[in-house]
Amino acid sequence: MAKLVYFAWVRERIGKAEEEIDIPAGVVTVRDLLNHLRTLGEEYEHALQYPEVIRVAIEQEHVDHSEALGNAREIGIFPPMTGG
Amino acid sequence: MDHPTPTIRVQAEDFDLPFEIAALTAGRHDIGAVVTFSGLCRDEQGALSALELEHYPGMAEAEIRRIGALAIERFSLLGLTAVHRYGKIMPGENIVLVIATSPHRQAAFDGANFVMDFLKTSAPFWKKEHAVDGAARDWVSAKDADDQAQEKWQ
């Protein structure tokens, strides 16, 4: 089980701020996870239809899409940042 | 040489510039330069009633702290404070504060600039605009110019 946390328009489009999911066998990298989530329903597809713009953090640290999920406990999924 | 520890805060409430400057400089005789940057909410020619700032609790602080430590090391800063607000912020109100101190001005200018450039592109905050008619407008888009501003430090 991993906790997924969503922010900004990713959160709004998916319709929840966080959820626990089982990561299926075969979902190894961040890219795999984003593609897997897109199969879960149209709200996920709407949020993640352009996965290349989506930013991901594992245990609250930025990671590339090629990063292995390993035993990640918390995976943050969000749009490019616009603070400051 | 031991590097100073940056003061990093992520908070809903406003901050006070003179207080924050005094906290970095009080009792010190080695500081020759204090550079302060504060970012405010603007109303976009009257169209905007507020900004709503969402953040990733925990990661937001950690990321600013990481950026602050890089700046202190790279520019040999004597001190650094960075404060970023979240929640609903009205036009004219403060959003973000960066203060860098150093013996001479260039390091303090560069340190504050570096922190802002990296904060824009890697600290997990998102701005949503609210229009004057009460409608939520939309999430602010990330700007290529911000990525380019960060890349100049590579």
Please state the ipTM of this predicted complex. 0.96
- Contacts with A7 from chain B: Cβ below 8 Å: 54, 56, 124, 126
CATH number for the domain spanning A34: value is 3.10.20.30
Q: State how far the Cα of A77 lies from the Cα of A25, in Å rounded to an integer.
A: 20
The reply to whether B2 falls in a domain is no
Do B55 and A83 make contact, defined as CB atoms within 8 angstroms? yes
Residues of chain A with pLDDT under 70: none
Q: State how far the Cα of B20 lies from the Cα of B81, in Å rounded to an integer.
A: 8
Boundaries of domain holding A12: 2-78
Q: Which of B62, B84, B121 sits opposite A60 (nearest CB)?
A: B62
Q: State how far the Cα of B25 lies from the Cα of B11, in Å rounded to an integer.
A: 22
The predicted pLDDT at position B19 comes to: 98
The predicted pLDDT at position B134 comes to: 74
Domains contained in chain B, number:
1
Among B87, B122, B83, smallest CA distance to B99 is for: B83
The reply to whether B14 falls in a domain is yes
Whether residue B56 contacts residue A58, with contact meaning beta carbons closer than 8 Å, is answered with no
* Nearest chain B Cα distance for residue A84, angstroms: 5
Q: Would you call A30 exposed, middle or buried from its count of C-beta atoms within 10 A (0-12, 13-18, 19+)?
A: buried
Q: Which amino acid is at B2?
A: D
- Contacts with B127 from chain A: Cβ below 8 Å: 82-83
CATH number for the domain spanning B76: value is 3.90.1170.40
- Beta-carbon contacts of B27 under 8 Å, excluding residues fewer than 6 positions away, are none
The predicted pLDDT at position B2 comes to: 78
Boundaries of domain holding B138: 7-151
Q: Could you give the dihedral angle defined by the CA atoms of residues A9, B10, A18 and A39, in that order, rounded to the nearest 10 degrees?
A: 40
The predicted pLDDT at position B40 comes to: 98
Domains contained in chain A, number:
1
A84 touches chain B (CB under 8 A): yes
The reply to whether B1 falls in a domain is no
The reply to whether A45 falls in a domain is yes
* Nearest residue on chain A to B51, alpha-carbon basis: A83
Could you list the pLDDT tens digit for every one of the 154 residues in chain B?
578 999 999 999 999 999 999 999 999 999 999 999 999 999 989 989 999 999 999 999 999 999 999 999 999 999 999 999 999 999 999 999 999 999 999 999 999 999 999 999 999 999 999 998 877 678 999 888 888 888 898 8
